[in-house]
């Protein structure tokens, strides 16, 4: 018969976090703007899985404040939103940050001038992989251009 010995565990005087994610703190910050909470949740999950940080909002006014005050590395926008369309929002964001890459993530038909304002267009309905690839490629392109 085996004998077991259980040692007593002394509580630590100062609790410490069991882990930290320094790489996440330094990872690119992505602003996501969409009026659909399900899409925002998908975007947050995709970005987190890619090792990126996400700020998600459905409010265009909040998005404008964030682009003006936070070190945003990339923006993902929906085209059809109730407050204003994604291209109008992108144009207003350019007043605060002229060089931030923007991806229009939409299922809507877009005007021809869309690519004059945003870096890429990704159609909704193709799943998360094309969006994740476009985000990572766009970030890589902007880092090599800098």
pLDDT at 6: 46
The alpha-helical segments, DSSP class H, found in 1-146 are: 22-26, 37-49, 60-69, 86-94, 114-117, 128-145
State the pLDDT confidence band at 10, using cuts at 50, 70 and 90.
low
Rg from Cα positions in the chain? 20
Q: How many CB atoms lie within 10 A of CB 138?
A: 21
What are residue 113's phi and psi, to 5 degrees?
Answer: -75, 5
pTM (predicted TM-score)? 0.80
pLDDT at 61 over 60: yes
Distance CA 56, CA 62 (A): 10
């Amino acid at each position: 018969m085996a004998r077991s010995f259980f040692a007593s565990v002394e509580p630590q005087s100062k609790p410490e976090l069991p882990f930290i994610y320094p790489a996440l703190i330094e990872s690119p910050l992505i602003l996501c703007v969409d009026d659909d909470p399900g899409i925002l949740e998908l975007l947050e999950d995709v970005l987190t899985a890619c090792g990126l940080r996400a700020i998600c909002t459905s409010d265009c006014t909040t998005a404008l404040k964030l682009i003006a005050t936070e070190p945003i590395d990339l923006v993902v926008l929906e085209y059809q939103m109730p407050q204003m369309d994604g291209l109008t929002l992108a144009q207003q964001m350019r007043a605060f940050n002229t060089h931030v890459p923007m991806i229009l993530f939409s299922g809507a038909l877009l005007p021809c001038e869309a690519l004059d304002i945003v870096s890429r267009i990704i159609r909704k309905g193709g799943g998360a992989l094309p969006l994740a690839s476009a985000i990572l490629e766009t970030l890589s392109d902007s880092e090599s251009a800098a």
